């Protein structure tokens, strides 16, 4: 049985201010929780209605009823497992390889997908502006599918960091040079902008090279989704 105080605590972690206050985040789903358990991220507590899952993770998991799981879950249909983990301390970024930098990406699904893309393409560090959506937002965590445990995510003053960067800074723009013709170096920074406004003027001034993805179809779509564009550009960076 989950006591009322725990229900209140876990549900409070749906909000950023309480995640920051307690230094913890909540995640749901068997796959994501298993990924986090296999990582270096410290577990606080896990509740599950799945007897088999509890048997496999006895030291950290408490068996609860479906009714109790529903009380602490943010989902209409709980996904059998709810876990609470400690927010890890970010590691200082070492710019010896490629870094993805996000200039105020606001959509949780986009950030979660970009974190997963970084994991897929071997990008160890993701730099986010302070106004980028919180990476421990439950919707972000769901979209990462566990990749949150393998990408170092740092929130910092993007303008200051890029101004001091010792590697080329590439930015995605509609009027940039075609990315397919670019010979990308072994290390650099790829900046992706806000869903509605793209890269801000302050950050644009610090971009070394503007690049774009050419449009082959009819000129009906204004732009690509930021996570889709990130996938295409990372593939091109890693391919060259």
Q: What is the pLDDT of residues 119-129, one digit of tens each?
A: 999 999 999 99
Q: What is the pLDDT of residue 3?
A: 76
Please report, for residues 65, 85, 94, 165, 166, the alpha-carbon distance to residue 102 in angstroms, rounded to integers and kept in the order given.
41, 25, 17, 15, 18
d(CA 189, CA 206): 11
Quick check: helix, strand or coil at residue 182?
Answer: coil
d(CA 215, CA 97): 29
Q: What is the pLDDT of residue 216?
A: 87
d(CA 118, CA 152): 10
Mean pLDDT of 74-95: 89
Q: Which of 94, 146, 140, 154 is nearest to 120 (CA)?
A: 146
- Please indicate, yes or no, whether residues 208 and 108 belong to a single structural domain of this protein: yes
Helix axes 226-239, 108-120, angle to 10 degrees: 10
Which of 58, 86, 114 terminates a domain? The answer is 86
Which domain CATH number covers 75? 3.30.1330.30
Helix count and strand count (H, E) for the chain: 10, 10
Record the pTM. 0.93
- Please indicate, yes or no, whether residues 48 and 105 belong to a single structural domain of this protein: no
Q: Which domain holds residue 43?
A: 4-86
Q: Does a structural domain hold residue 93?
A: no
The mean of the pLDDT values for the chain is: 93
Structure tokens belonging to residue 2: 């989950």
Is there a contact between 175 and 211 (Cβ–Cβ < 8 Å)? Answer: no
Please give the tally of structural domains in the chain. Answer: 2
Is pLDDT above 80 for 213? yes
- Please indicate, yes or no, whether residues 228 and 199 belong to a single structural domain of this protein: yes
Is pLDDT above 80 for 2? no
- Please indicate, yes or no, whether residues 115 and 180 belong to a single structural domain of this protein: yes
Q: What is the pLDDT of residue 4?
A: 84
């Amino acid at each position: 049985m989950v006591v009322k105080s725990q229900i209140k605590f876990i549900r409070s972690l749906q909000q950023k201010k309480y995640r920051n206050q307690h230094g913890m985040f909540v995640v749901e789903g068997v796959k994501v929780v298993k990924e986090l358990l296999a990582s270096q991220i410290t577990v606080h507590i896990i509740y599950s209605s799945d007897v088999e899952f509890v048997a496999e993770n006895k030291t950290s998991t408490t068996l609860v009823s479906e009714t109790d799981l529903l009380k602490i879950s943010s989902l209409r249909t709980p996904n059998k497992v709810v876990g609470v983990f400690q927010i890890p301390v970010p590691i200082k970024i070492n710019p010896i390889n490629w870094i993805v930098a996000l200039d105020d990406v606001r959509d949780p699904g986009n950030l979660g997908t970009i974190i997963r893309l970084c994991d897929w393409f071997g990008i160890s560090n993701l730099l986010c502006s302070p106004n980028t959506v919180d990476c421990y937002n439950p919707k972000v965590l769901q979209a990462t599918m566990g990749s949150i445990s393998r990408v170092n995510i740092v929130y910092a003053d993007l303008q200051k960091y890029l101004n001091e960067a010792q590697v080329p800074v590439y930015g995605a723009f509609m009027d940039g040079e075609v990315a397919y013709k670019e010979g990308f170096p072994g290390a650099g920074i790829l900046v992706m902008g806000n869903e509605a406004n793209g890269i801000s003027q302050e950050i644009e001034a610090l971009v070394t090279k503007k690049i774009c993805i050419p449009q082959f179809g009819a000129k009906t779509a204004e732009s690509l989704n930021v996570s889709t564009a990130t996938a295409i550009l990372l593939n091109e960076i890693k391919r060259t």
